[in-house]
């Protein structure tokens, strides 16, 4: 039970890091308290989001801020009990979302975003998972002509600047392409370059099976037991303690359970979100669609199901789940997209690991030899998992990184 590297966290980022390190000759153990793909990677909308070249910033227009303050919107719900713990983080997020700083975040994220599909494609081919992925893109749908016109202009600029493909569809063209979409949607932007995953958890499990097939070990263990001794890291698993010279913390929203006891103060917070599956009452959507002015996504999944994923809930990480956001958007989705009866007994609750500057944390820890971080991918963990795994593995094995990792360095928050 002696390894070169222990990767803590078997979500899309941790599994991808393990695969890339193993491909470079490292003996790797992947450790989590659950099986691969069972936490945050389980419940997202399944987008490999090549077109999201601008991060999701904090809205700065007064109308949106007033709507959020009233706490009645469909795209954001906040629990007042959580606000004291989030106040400093939200203030930094707002500051980082100013136009100039948001442009900087977009520039820093572009090298990762631009390679996201290609890095997934490489793993999908190796693991034989092509049946899980559609190359149809996704749509931003709009309810008001003003919002649609503004988004269409932004889409044309983004497509020209970044070499993306985007079709601007009026209501008639949209419904010709997606008959299930109701007349209350006046138009949509079809982003062609992204891909969608019909079962995100199965994709992660498939990558993990590739890792095991090539000799990797997946173990059930508790990351919080991580200890440093001399030049070795030790963590307890169900098969006993294991040792490694290096350790990767890729625990998503739970990464602070490891880095905080080691003395690191990284502003990581979890944005909560929910999903529910429905039977389609109309012809099923051919690709994911976001109701842009209401803040939820409907995505086709395996088994003739539609997955509705909600916007953001600001609440304590261990707070009980609520039905507020689903209760608000379900009637809208039923009218607009024709969702039928619920499939799941209870909504699924997940956590999105977020940093206030909208960049992930990727790289070596400052004060501990052999400690590496890979977390904080905001709303794009599935998108950025494989490309993060590649960048981290290049750094750890002394290869020339395919892009400058400086924007993601852990010490930027000091």
Over residues 325-350, the pLDDT tens digits come to 999 999 999 999 999 999 999 999 99
- pLDDT at 1 exceeding the cut of 80: no
Rounded Cα distance between 357 and 364, Å, is: 19
Q: Looking at the 3D structure of the chain, how many domains does it have?
A: 2
Residue at 381 is within a domain: yes
Strands 240-249 and 232-237: antiparallel
Residue at 53 is within a domain: no
Helix (H, G, I), strand (E, B) or coil at 63: helix
Nearby residues of 141 by Cβ (< 8 Å), 6 or more positions away: 174, 181, 185, 187, 188, 289, 290, 291, 292
Q: Which of 354, 370, 392 is the last residue of a domain?
A: 354
Together in a domain, 289 and 346: yes
Residue at 183 is within a domain: yes
Together in a domain, 71 and 162: yes
Q: What pLDDT is recorded for position 113?
A: 97
What's the mean pLDDT in 162-186?
96
Strands 76-78 and 312-314: parallel
- pLDDT at 414 exceeding the cut of 80: no
Together in a domain, 240 and 322: no
Q: Quick one: which of 327, 344, 332, 322 has its CA closest to 277?
A: 344
Together in a domain, 169 and 223: no
CB-CB contact of 381 with 121 (8 Å): no
Together in a domain, 167 and 75: yes
Task: Provide the mean pLDDT of the chain.
Answer: 96
Residue at 160 is within a domain: yes
Together in a domain, 209 and 167: no
Which long-range CB contacts under 8 A does 163-172 form with residues at least 24 apart? 164/50, 164/51, 164/53, 164/191, 164/192, 164/193, 165/137, 165/191, 165/192, 165/193, 166/51, 166/190, 166/191, 166/192, 167/192, 169/139
Together in a domain, 169 and 78: yes
Q: What pLDDT is recorded for position 229?
A: 85
Q: What pLDDT is recorded for position 274?
A: 97
Beta bridge partners of 4: none
Nearby residues of 1 by Cβ (< 8 Å), 6 or more positions away: 29, 237, 239, 240, 241, 242, 243
pLDDT digits (tens, 9 = 90+) for 30-55: 999 999 999 999 999 999 999 999 99
Residue at 374 is within a domain: yes
Nearby residues of 402 by Cβ (< 8 Å), 6 or more positions away: 111, 115, 390, 391, 394
Together in a domain, 261 and 274: no
Write out the residue range of the structural domain in which residue 212 sits: 2-42+201-267+356-413
H or E segment to which residue 371 belongs: strand 371-375
Residue at 71 is within a domain: yes
CATH number of the domain where residue 230 is located: 3.50.50.60
pLDDT digits (tens, 9 = 90+) for 292-335: 999 999 999 999 999 999 999 999 999 999 999 999 999 999 99
CB-CB contact of 17 with 387 (8 Å): no
CA dihedral of 92, 96, 97, 99, whole degrees rounded to 10: 150
Together in a domain, 138 and 16: no
CATH number of the domain where residue 157 is located: 3.30.9.10
Q: Residue 231: pLDDT band by 50, 70, 90 thresholds?
A: confident
Q: What pLDDT is recorded for position 245?
A: 96
Together in a domain, 228 and 153: no
Together in a domain, 168 and 212: no
Residue at 121 is within a domain: no
**What's the pTM?**
0.96
Q: Quick one: which of 296, 279, 306 has its CA closest to 141?
A: 296
Q: Which of 330, 354, 378 is the last residue of a domain?
A: 354
CA dihedral of 81, 346, 200, 133, whole degrees rounded to 10: -130
Tell me how far the alpha carbon of residue 174 is from its chain's centroid: 27
Residue at 188 is within a domain: yes
Together in a domain, 27 and 149: no
Q: Which of 354, 377, 397 is the last residue of a domain?
A: 354
Q: In 250-347, which ranges are E strands?
A: 269-280, 289-291, 296-301, 305-309, 312-314, 339-342
pLDDT digits (tens, 9 = 90+) for 359-398: 999 999 999 999 999 999 999 999 999 999 999 999 999 9
């Amino acid at each position: 039970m002696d390894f070169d590297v222990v990767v803590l966290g078997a979500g899309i980022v941790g599994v991808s890091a393990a695969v890339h390190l193993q491909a470079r000759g490292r003996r790797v153990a992947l450790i989590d308290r659950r099986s691969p793909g069972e936490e945050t990677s389980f419940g997202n909308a399944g987008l490999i989001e090549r077109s999201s070249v601008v991060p999701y910033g904090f809205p700065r227009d007064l109308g949106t801020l007033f709507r959020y303050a009233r706490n009645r919107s469909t795209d954001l719900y906040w629990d007042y009990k959580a606000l004291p713990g989030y106040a400093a983080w939200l203030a930094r997020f707002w500051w980082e979302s100013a136009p100039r700083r948001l442009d900087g975040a977009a520039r820093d994220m572009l090298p990762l975003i631009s390679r996201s599909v290609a890095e997934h494609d490489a793993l999908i081919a190796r693991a034989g998972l092509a049946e899980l992925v559609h190359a149809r893109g996704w749509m931003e749908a709009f309810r008001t002509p003003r919002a649609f016109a503004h988004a269409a202009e932004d889409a044309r600029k983004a497509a020209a600047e970044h070499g993306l493909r985007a079709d601007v569809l009026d209501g008639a063209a949209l419904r010709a392409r997606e008959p299930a979409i109701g007349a209350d949607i006046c138009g949509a932007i079809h982003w062609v370059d992204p891909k969608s995953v019909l079962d995100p958890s199965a994709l992660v499990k498939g990558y993990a099976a590739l890792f095991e097939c090539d000799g990797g070990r997946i173990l059930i263990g508790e990351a919080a037991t991580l200890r440093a001794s001399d030049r070795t890291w030790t963590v307890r698993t169900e098969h006993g303690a294991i040792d490694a010279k290096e350790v990767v913390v890729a625990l998503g929203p739970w990464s602070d359970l490891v880095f905080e006891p080691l003395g690191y103060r990284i502003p990581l917070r979890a944005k909560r979100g929910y999903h529910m599956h429905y039977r389609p009452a109309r012809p099923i959507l051919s690709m994911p669609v976001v109701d842009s002015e209401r803040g939820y996504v409907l995505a086709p999944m395996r088994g003739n199901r539609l997955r509705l994923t909600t916007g953001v809930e600001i609440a304590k990480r261990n707070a009980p789940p609520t039905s507020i956001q689903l209760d608000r958007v379900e009637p809208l989705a039923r009218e607009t997209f024709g969702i039928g009866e619920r499939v799941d007994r209870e909504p699924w609750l997940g956590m999105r690991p977020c940093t206030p500057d909208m960049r992930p944390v990727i790289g070596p820890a400052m004060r501990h030899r052999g400690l590496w971080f890979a977390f904080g991918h905001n709303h794009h963990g599935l998108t950025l998992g494989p490309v993060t795994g590649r960048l981290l593995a290049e750094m750890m094995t002394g290869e020339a990184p395919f892009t400058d990792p400086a924007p993601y360095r852990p010490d930027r928050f000091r």
